[in-house]
Homo-oligomer: A and B are copies of this chain.
Amino acid sequence: MQLVTQTKVTELPMGSILTPKGFRAAGVHAGLRYSKKDLGMILSDTPAQCAAVYTTSHFQAAPLIVTQESIASEGLIQAVIVNSACANACTGDQGLKDAYQMRKSAADKFNLKELHVAVASTGVIGEYMQMDKIEEGIKMLEPGNEALHSEDFQTAILTTDLVMKKCCYSAVIDGKTVTMGGSAKGSGMIHPNMATMLAFVTTDANIDSSDLQLALKQVTDQTFNQITVDGDTSTNDMVLVMANGTSGINKLSPDHPEWDVFIEMLSKTSESLAKQIAKDGEGATKLIEVEVSGTKSDDDARMIAKQIVGSNLVKTAIYGADANWGRIIGAIGQCQSAIDPSSVDIAIGPIVMLKNSEPLAFSEEVAKEYLSNAFIQITVYLHQGEGKGKAWGCDLSYDYVKINASYRT
């Protein structure tokens, strides 16, 4: 699939996970952290069709195992409950028991089936959950559908993120308005081991869990899987979508004439959250977008784009506003896909620096001025085919080292 370029989807800048009909949310301070909210939930009025993707780490944290079990049961989730501060990862049998207990407590309080509840955690690896605080926190949760409630949730799932991450889009399908909202946390790591990306998407679209999973997988490969802050993969990453069908449209599936509109909406939601996470990477001063095209396949383009945006040398050059295209060559050169080294074009912003692998003269001053922006685009064209793809990341600054060299506290 190509990235969608037509636009039948409208952004709702003031919207959130509560803009789709039939969802409520909450966030409270359960005492896992010193003062910040640390426990949140999203509740659907009815069980919602659900899809999720998870970290590929061998060390999947306990909540991911429990959530997978819930979704596998009927494909339905009515509530997701999330804590920050503790990742409940590398915690063995006790950790699994705690994750099950967290699910049960939420189910009991809101009269839900346990298998209709998903759980997620983010925080320090290798520490056990303070279950007494979790239990007390769950009792305090009073979900509502005001803007305040979505902000409470958005805040509760953050760890060292500097800003809340959310977005909202709508589209007309079957002549009716369908809405989708997203909330995410990124990979800040002031407290070591906190490296989790969590994203939650609500929608009132009507779609079965299996088709939703299909759509999510396709979109994730082009969005969430295309961001990198430091190349490290967390034990707790999860993206979860809940679709409760309250928009009243016909059931969506790949055969529906407006399936592409739904994919576009999910794609825009995912890309927006992914870019917000990259932009707020630890120590970041700039958001970097790399677009690669002219490859034999989209997979190749995405892989090369991610290699470039993940290169420490490219990241430090951009931090220093240095138009150092040789480092982009270095990153492309080590990719595993077949490349013709004699026909590479590279541009940083509007400035073409390499054309058919021949260096072009350019003004260092103009390049430096462009590289002083907060959003940097790198474009690579490889003259081999029709493949294309993007990746997003951030620069590598002194603050990245400062944040990650500090002691766990």
Contact = CB atoms under 8 A, between A and B. Distances in A.
A324 B192 contact: yes
Contacts of A339: 58
Contact of A320 (B232, B327, B405): B405
Max chain B C-beta neighbours (<10 A), residue from A319, A320, A397: A320
Contacts of A326: 89-90, 124-126, 192-193
A406 B324 CA distance: 10
Contact of A325 (B126, B230, B324): B126
Interface string A146-175: 000000000000000000000000000000
A18 to B, nearest CB: 33
Nearest to A229: B312
B401 A329 contact: no
Interface residues of A, number: 60
A404 B90 contact: no
B231 A312 contact: yes
Given A232-B334, A326-B90, A330-B234, A341 B192 contact: no
Main secondary structure of the interface of A (DSSP, over half): loop
A375 interface: no
A287 B229 CA distance: 24
Contacts of A319: 401, 405
Nearest to A57: B333
A233 B404 CA distance: 24
